[in-house]
Amino acid sequence: MRKILIAALTVFALAFAVGMITTTPAQALTTCWYTCDCNGTPLRCCKSGGVTTCKVAKDSPLQCTQGANC
C-alpha cells in the first residue's frame, strides 16, 4: 500500500510540475497609441478586444495644440 501511495504522489507531483511549466497565461491583444483631443490634451489610447479606452498621458511624446475644427 505504501508503494502505491508513493508512486501516486510522485506521478501527481510530476504532472503538476509539467502543467506549471508548460502553461502560459493568455495575453490579451492590446494595441496602444498616443493622440490629441480637441483641447490639446495628449491622450494614450489602448484597444483591447473591441473596447478602446483613452486616458490623459502626462509623458506623451506628442506636442498637442488646440484644434480649430473640433
Instruction: State pLDDT tens for residues 18-32.
Output: 766 765 555 556 799
In a domain, 39, yes or no: yes
Amino acid (one-letter) located at 2: R
Query: What pLDDT is recorded for position 3?
Result: 85
In a domain, 70, yes or no: no
Query: Cβ(36)–Cβ(45) under 8 Å?
Result: no
- What grid cell was written down for 13? 507531483
User: What confidence tier does 68 reach under pLDDT thresholds 50, 70, 90?
Assistant: low
The Cα–Cα gap between 60 and 39 comes to 15
In a domain, 11, yes or no: yes
In a domain, 31, yes or no: yes
Q: Count structural domains, the chain.
A: 1
End-to-end CA distance of the chain: give it in Å, rounded: 79
Query: What pLDDT is recorded for position 7?
Result: 78
Answer whether residue 17 shows pLDDT above 80. Answer: no
In a domain, 67, yes or no: no
Amino acid (one-letter) located at 70: C
In a domain, 65, yes or no: no
Domain membership of residue 21 as a residue range: 2-56
Instruction: State pLDDT tens for residues 36-63.
Output: 998 889 999 999 888 999 999 988 888 8
